[in-house]
Amino acid sequence: LLLKPGDKLHLPLVLDWGQNEIHGVVVNALGNPVPASRIVLQWSHQSDGITTKTTRRTAADTQGHFAFSRLGPGTHSLQVDAAGFAPVVVDHDVSRQGYNLTVRLN
């Protein structure tokens, strides 16, 4: 964007911020927890040619549980990986699919 002195431009800024949450558990093919799994949560929104993106990261606890809070509405993409397992990508819309999620690694 290039603005000259005195120019005005209204740009709406859409943030991945709200009251939504995702709580989940990472399990293996037998349903046992996979501790210390790495979880990357990504979100993007495009409006009027402007793209806003966020990336959040966490790790599963010793029981495979993880949580993300203060999420905005819409679809969030979770990439989950752990040593010895193939990475998994899950697209999850908290507004339509709820807050609880089980991710199975093989």
CA distance 101 to 106: 16
Contact between 89 and 78 (Cβ < 8 Å): yes
CA distance 73 to 3: 32
CA distance 24 to 99: 8
- When the candidates are 2.60.40.10, 1.10.220.10, 3.90.180.10, 3.40.47.10, the CATH number that belongs to 20-104 is 2.60.40.10
| Among 23, 15, 18, 13, residue whose Cα is nearest residue 71 | 18
| Domain range annotation of the chain | 20-104
pLDDT digit of tens for each residue in the chain (106 aa)?
A: 788 999 998 877 788 989 999 999 999 999 999 999 999 999 998 888 888 899 999 999 999 999 999 999 889 999 999 999 999 999 999 888 778 999 999 9
pTM: 0.85
- Residue 11: per-residue pLDDT: 77
Report CA-CA distances (Å) from 93 to 2, 60, 99.
35, 20, 9
CA distance 40 to 30: 23
- Residue 105: per-residue pLDDT: 98
